[in-house]
Structure 1
Amino acid sequence: MRWPRQMMSLLFVLTLLAGPPIVLLSLVGAPIQGWPTAAQAQEWVQNPLTEQSLTAALTIAAWLVWLLLAYTVTIRMLTRLSTTVSWLRRMPLPTPWQATAGGIAGAAVFGVSSHAITAPPPPPTQPVAAGTFGDADNPRSSDRDLLANAGINVTGGWLPRDVAEQVSAAAALVWLRRRRSYRPHPPGPPSREDTDLAPLPPTVAAVQAALADSTPPPTEPVATSTGSSPLNRPTVGEAFARAGVGLTGLGAQDAARGLLVTSLLAGRHHPAVSVVVTRAVLAGLLGPIAESLERRLPGLAVIDHLTQAAEFFSGKHPGHGLAGRNQAHRNTQERTNSPGPTLIVDAASATDNAETLASLATASAAVAVLARWPAGQTWQVDPSGRTHHLDGSGSAGPRMCVLTQVTATDLLTVIAHPDPALPEPGASSPSRNPALAGRSPQWKAAQDHPVRFGNDKRRLQLRVLGEPTLLLDGHPVEVRRTAALQVLVFLAAHPDGADTRQLTDAIWPGLPRRSLTGRLYTTLSDLRATIRSRAGATLIEHSDDRYRLDPTAVTVDLWHFHHAVRDATTAVATDATTWKAVIDAYPGDLAARRTWPWLDPIREATRRHVIDAHAALASASPDARQALAWLQAGIRIDPYNADLHTQAVSALITLGDHDAADHLREDYTRRLAAAGILPTDTAFTTATLTGQPAIRTR
């Protein structure tokens, strides 16, 4: 029933526009009735505050207010009209085949039966914006259109679904590598400053959030990687011609960035080179950061001219260690029968080396020239990634992944080697077991010190360590909205509270904030109403645009955990009881099994406190078997941490159990391989576990 409200709004606006002029003209007359004479002007100067002059001033002010109102309404109408016209221009029209099929389907519907068919109403459409599935050109597209496009719109580009899944998998692998590389040190304050706890770029978070909603695979041709298993070396789009493709149009540069990112993501599980690109093209695509990323991107080979590319493909290139990598590429290619790398060059390289480029095209997964290419196909790419053949037919080609410079750089972050200029995580000396070195420090006996809620008189309890649960008098309270549960966990992790911007950016990353304020208010209102009706209390306080959990109404297990960490940090003497209290206060990972993008840094920081406590207890234990037990307990908390495995292997060797040490080493290597960490990554792990000097890899 929206049309009655719209009609009333229209009548109200018309009344505001027509009413004041009618009243002013009927009561006062025209605003200007000729210019004043010299005598009238002189009289007004001598006596300005007369009844006539005041009436004229008020009349002029009223007309100015009406003109401002009329101007505002006119601008709003023109803006809405322009938006509607732009949308109609971008609305896709059916092709002749689609029109024919639609006519046949319509005839079938009206001719089969006269019985009425009641169909369930379609689900309400959500606003399509950055970080969502759908068509960036048509924010009012239907659900059917969104499923047909089967891609993700992010701020500054569009990604096919399989590329988005590669990004999400690579992001998860980043956090696994950080967990593996962390070196425990003595427990510190709850607020950690580890450099590798920085969150991933916002574009990555937007992709992860968009993938939370299940969507069918793409139905339109997409120039991207294919292949069901991430461990298979896929091609970069079967739509690319072997002779290569020229890219022109407003989206050519963005499409080249998309091809670069897609190819590197597709080959990230293989030691072979995935992309060969000229230095000039890479600088144009990535800007000032190209030189830094050139050294840190696995699978990327940068050349100065196509002659080097020919030498590279033939295995004769001597520079930058490419010969060895090329040999690995040839070996991998022979084993997997996969195509060669993607080649991206500029117009000058293609024109000056046409024959060389043609020969390289037969050994490449794809060849892209950033200009019209007379020797091959040329596609015109629009900013949304849709392509059209410039062969006179004007036929549509596959839709390409398109990324702006900032967006491409954000996505490349998840596959780049760590910056060597940054300190390594946990750079301080790892805690070693002094008992294994023949030292037995004095320490107090550990006592059980579990965190309990039994003596707390507050009726509401929020548990976020493990499965997030809100309890009232010990009984779970149903939180109907997933966003409401996110709000509770987010505020539990931020006791000082969060404002509207922080909440919307965390829960709905990538979406325009102006469209989310109402959604946040609805979520909070529903949550408050639920708590008020069940407990008669206010769970969330709102003051100065900041929301926070009321500490007088709810007790939070994460806050108890931070209190235990603070006690262990500020303890004057080395007391195992305080470290044990940290472990007892940790029943599970923060919001276990939840994949909210904002959660990873906080979850990892919380986990590291527990790892530090286990390592500290193992280091202080005078008994080697007890130290091993603490290390094994720490490994159960984080089965990917290399330092804990190193100490556990050393403890087993010290105890003479070499078979158990070998089994632990092999199990750890298999676990890393199953998670998708390359054999080159496990070189550091193997060296560490065998007591050899550590070789840091990505």
Structure 2
Amino acid sequence: MVLLTVIGPPFRGWPTSEQLRAWLQQPLTEETLTAGLAIGAWLIWLLVAYTVTARIIIRLRATTAWLRRMPLPTPLQATASGMAGAAVFGITTNTVTTTSPEPPQPAPTGTATFHDDTAPDDHRDQAARDDGVTVAGGWLPRDVAEQVTAAAALVWLRRRRDYQPHPTHPDDTDLTPLPPTVTAVQAALADTPTPPPSDESAAPFEALPAGGVGLTGPGTLPVGRGLLVTAILAGQRHSSTTLIVTKATLALLLGPAAETLGRRLPLTIVDTADDATQLLRPTSPVAGEAIPGQRQGETSSGHGHRKMVLLNGHDGSEQQMKHLAETGTATAALVVILGEQPDGPNWHADSTGHLRDPHHPDMPNPRLCVLDQIATTDLLAIIASPDSAPPRPDNGRPPLPYAGPPELPRPRQAARHEPPRLSIAPRQRLHLRVLGDPQLLIDGEPLTIRRSAGLQVLVYLAVHPTGADTARLTEAIWPGLPRRSLTGRLYTALSDLRSTIRTASDLPVIDHSDDRYRLNPAHVEVDLWGLRTAIHQAAAALTHTSTAWQTVLDAYPADLATTRTWPWLDPHREATRRRVIDLCAALAAKEPNPHHALQLLQDGISIDPYNADLHRIASRALTDLGRAEGRATALPPTAR
């Protein structure tokens, strides 16, 4: 339309027969060449116009389909028309916040959603505010989320304690990742400041009326699951908190997992409301049965002891429910009925966890933890005591950073027509340090990497020398989030990382080929790769074992990314540590000098003071040396 309006068509009308005969006799004239060039320019212009139009139509269709699938938080937020216009014209808009108390809808399974608009771009979806963290299937208060991360840390400490070093066939089958909801909570709290500690066990007791309350509304069961998890977590930290739940209520909240999971949880399961009433009394009529969490000689009305009873309206008659509520009031216990309570306060619970007293609408509406069955079982799995014979994963061992010979990167092969460039020394020396605080050093000077995702990419590729594709990187850095929304974020992090490195060095650090990223071993040194080589050489050494072991100690100054709490790190960090203590146990076993063997074991205990097997072997070595009385003082200070 612009050409037709401003310039006009390339020629007017069709050529006459006389013009055609003249063209056949002399085709290359100034007039015919001009006409041919004009027609070619027009065809190119039409091709460009068609391409632009087709791209706009495709973009509009994709945007429309995305808007249909995108869950809107509320009808008042971010209208679809405004977002469509921003998507079409590529305008970056700020997040619109409203005063509506309704939180965003749950994200996909295992996804953590965050609410800190002032966080850096990397953590806008991974920085929890002080009020709580939204995960797939529910919402957790900040205190509860921190207890979940503490419970996850205890899982890894138990695995460290129970591992038995083996020089040739290490057993790493217990290094399975934690459930998706747990890793989502860990990712939400990773690299975020921790608020001052608070008495989190008092939250449900202070939010709900004294004595007891009945919960009604669509959020009854989600709030009940949240109370179940909150009370159990509080009991893990404060032994004065006890949870009593009926068998039917546990099955209602957990579904099929109630039978197998319930017997492994630190709670008291009763059959009826009368049984719960008996347990609330100062002296239980069940002979010889101690109330869980209660110290010897302490009654249920003892100072500081809190009890919570969780049941539903079908666990007893109306008279039994009244009796239970009266006993709860007399003993300062909290009785929560998932359903309407006869002759008692009944609060309405919505699906977001907000509670409302219909008789006092002006009172503040507290918000409690809300969870669905999947999220609840995920969180309870890290609290429950392990089975006597835990099942082995069907897919074998998880991918670990080292299991056997070192996995060393190989430099790219030079093209056939290019001579090798091995004799050309780089102008700068790049060293990636991932043991301890991760840093990229250029000529010995640390380079500031602004985005946490960029630093995670470097550490992840150091752990996986053969490289990783886009899917594995995004799943590790942003656990649970849909990949289609993360590819662009990964490209942004990589672009910013390359730009940061380019300002200080012209050497390419990350290679990208066939959707696979890997560190360039010709330009960057990694301390983890050197450690793997040292372990492999020390394990194969027949002589000079002390020197080989000292080389390993020098190459292992600290744990893998010890200052970081990224969820994907835990299996690799533990596996790396295990390879070091495996070598320690192997060298100590074949060391003829018992004093040198004891020194090796002491070094291993300094590396992993939680490993019970190393302590057992060291104690036996002390006994063999006739120093049984000095076992407590002969071990390193960190192990005692």
Whether the TM-score (by the shorter chain) exceeds 0.5 is yes
- Equivalent position to 1:540, from 510, 513, 531: 510
The reply to whether residue 278 of structure 1 matches residue 256 of structure 2 is: no
Find the aligned partners of 2:220 and 2:566 in 1 and give their Cα distance. 33
* TM-fit CA distance, 1:405: 0.8
- Name the amino acid aligned to 2:180: P
C-alpha deviations, 1:624-660, integer Å up to 9, x for none?
2222211111111112222222222333333344453
Specify the SS of the correspondent of 1:197. Answer: coil
Code of the residue aligned with 1:528 in structure 2: it is: R
Amino acid corresponding to residue 572 of structure 2 in structure 1: I
1:368 aligns to what SS in structure 2? strand
Partner of 1:339: 305
Q: 1:5 aligns to what?
A: none
Which letter maps to 2:384?
A: A
Q: How much has 1:194 moved relative to structure 2?
A: 1.3
Confirm whether residue 413 of structure 1 aligns to residue 381 of structure 2: yes
Moved more, 651-660 or 301-310: 651-660
Q: Does residue 370 of the first structure (1) align with residue 338 of the second (2)?
A: yes
Residues 576, 659 of structure 1: CA spacing in aligned structure 2 closer, same or farther, 3 A cutoff? closer
Kindly state the Cα deviation for residue 593 of structure 1 after the two structures are TM-superposed.
1.7
Q: Deviations over 1:268-288 (max 9, x none)?
A: 035566211111111121121
Correspondence for 1:88? 76
Alignment of 1:72-471 (within 5 A): 76=64, 86-88=74-76, 130-134=111-115, 150-188=131-169, 194-212=172-190, 214=192, 228=198, 234=202, 236-271=204-239, 274-298=242-266, 300-314=267-281, 316=284, 318=286, 323-326=289-292, 328-329=294-295, 331=297, 337-352=303-318, 353-362=320-329, 363=331, 365-391=333-359, 393=361, 397-422=365-390, 459-471=429-441
Residues 272 and 332, structure 1, Cα contact 8 Å, conserved in 2: no
How much does 1:524 deviate? Answer: 0.4
- Structure 2 residue identity aligned to 1:269: R
Change (3 A) 1:626 1:124: farther
Question: Which amino acid in 1 is paired with 2:323?
Answer: T
Measure, in 2, the Cα distance between the counterparts of 1:456 and 1:338: 72
Paired AA for residue 202 in structure 1: P
1:72-99 Cα deviation digits (max 9, x unpaired): 77993995899779331899xxxxxxxx
Task: Name the stretch that deviates more: 573-582 or 599-608.
Answer: 573-582
- In terms of mean alpha carbon deviation, does 519-528 or 343-352 score higher? 343-352
More helix by share: 1
Contact 2:128 2:189 in 1 (8 A): no
Secondary structure in structure 1 of the residue aligned to 2:580: helix
Counterparts in 2 of 1:474 and 1:135: CA distance versus 1, 3 Å: closer
When normalised by structure 1's length, the TM-score is: 0.66
Secondary structure at 1:399 match in 2:
coil
Deviation of 1:125 after TM superposition, in Å, equals: 6.3
Q: 2:603 aligns with which of 633, 638, 652?
A: 633
TM-score, length basis structure 2: 0.71
Equivalent residues of 2:129, 2:142 under 8 A apart: no
Give the Cα–Cα distance (whole angstroms) in 2 for the partners of residues 529 and 415 of structure 1: 44
Match among 496, 500, 503 for residue 473 of structure 2:
503
Equivalent residue, structure 2, for 1:685: none
Distance 1:460 1:403, change over 3 A: same
- Please state if 1:598 is matched with 2:591: no
Q: Distance in 2 between matches of 1:633 and 1:82?
A: 55
Counterpart-to-counterpart distance in 2, 1:636 and 1:77? 57
Q: 1-side partners of 2:203 and 2:242: how far apart?
A: 10
Secondary structure of the equivalent of 1:616?
helix
User: Cα–Cα, structure 1 residues 162 and 210, in superposed 2: closer, same or farther, change >3 Å?
Assistant: same
Following superposition, the deviation at residue 330 of structure 1 comes to: 6.2
Task: Map residues 670-689 of structure 1 onto 2, 5 A cutoff.
Answer: none
Taking a change above 3 Å as real, the CA distance of residues 301 and 664 of structure 1, as seen in their structure-2 partners, is farther
Counterpart-to-counterpart distance in 2, 1:473 and 1:216: 35
Distance 1:170 1:336, change over 3 A: farther
2:11 match: none
Distance 1:317 1:576 in 2: 65
Cα deviation digits, residues 40-81 of structure 1 (max 9, x gap): xxxxxxxxxxxxxxxxxxxxxx9xx99x97997799399589
Work out the CA distance in 2 between the residues paired with 1:541 and 1:82.
34
Secondary structure of the corresponding residue to residue 506 of structure 1: helix
Q: Tell me the CA shift for residue 257 of structure 1.
A: 0.5
Deviation at residue 375 of structure 1 after TM alignment: 2.2
Structure 2 CA distance for aligned equivalents of residues 248 and 605 of structure 1: 48
Is the 2:244–2:307 contact (alpha carbons within 8 Å) kept by the matching residues of 1?
Answer: yes
8 Å contact 2:239–2:293 — kept in the other structure? no
- The Cα offsets for residues 201-244 of structure 1, whole Å up to 9 and x where unpaired, read as 222222122223546969xxxxxxxx7368xx646331211231
Distance 1:87 1:650 in 2: 69
**Distance in 2 between the 1:90 and 1:476 partners?**
42
Tell me the distance in 1 between the aligned counterparts of 2:66 and 2:564.
46
- 2:509 maps to a residue whose letter is L
Partner of 2:613: 643
* TM-superposed deviation, 1:570: 6.3
Q: For residues 308 and 90 of structure 1, do their structure 2 counterparts lie closer, same or farther at Cα, with a shift above 3 Å needed?
A: farther
What is the aligned partner in structure 2 of residue 50 from structure 1? none
Unaligned runs of at least 5 residues, structure 1: 1-11, 16-61, 92-122, 137-142, 219-226, 426-454, 672-698
Letter in 1 for 2:311: V
Please, which runs of 5 or more residues in structure 2 have no aligned partner?
3-49, 80-92, 98-103, 118-123, 394-422
Cα distance in structure 2, aligned partners of 1:81 and 1:631? 58
**How many pairs were matched up?**
524
Amino acid at match of 1:328: Q
Structure-2 change in CA distance of 1:377 and 1:90 (3 Å): farther
RMSD: 4.2
User: Which residue matches 1:472?
Assistant: 442
For 1:439, the equivalent position in structure 2 comes to: none
Inter-CA distance 475–398: structure 2 relative to 1 (3 Å threshold) = closer
Question: Would the alpha carbon gap of residues 570 and 663 (structure 1) be closer, same or farther in structure 2, given more than 3 Å must change?
Answer: closer
Separation of aligned partners in 2, 1:513 and 1:333: 54
Structure 1 Cα separation of the partners of residues 434 and 557 of structure 2: 10
Change (3 A) 1:614 1:69: closer
Aligned residue for 1:87, secondary structure, equals coil
3-state SS in 1 of match to 2:224: helix
d(CA) in 1 for partners of 2:62, 2:441: 54
Displacement of 1:665 in angstroms is 8.3
User: Contact conserved, 2:180 with 2:479, CA < 8 A, in 1?
Assistant: yes
Q: Deviations over 1:369-413 (max 9, x none)?
A: 111223222222222111222337485531010011111111112
Q: CA deviation at 1:420?
A: 1.5
Tell me what 1:444 maps to: none
* SS of match in other structure, 2:630: helix
Cα distance, 1:418 vs structure 2: 1.4
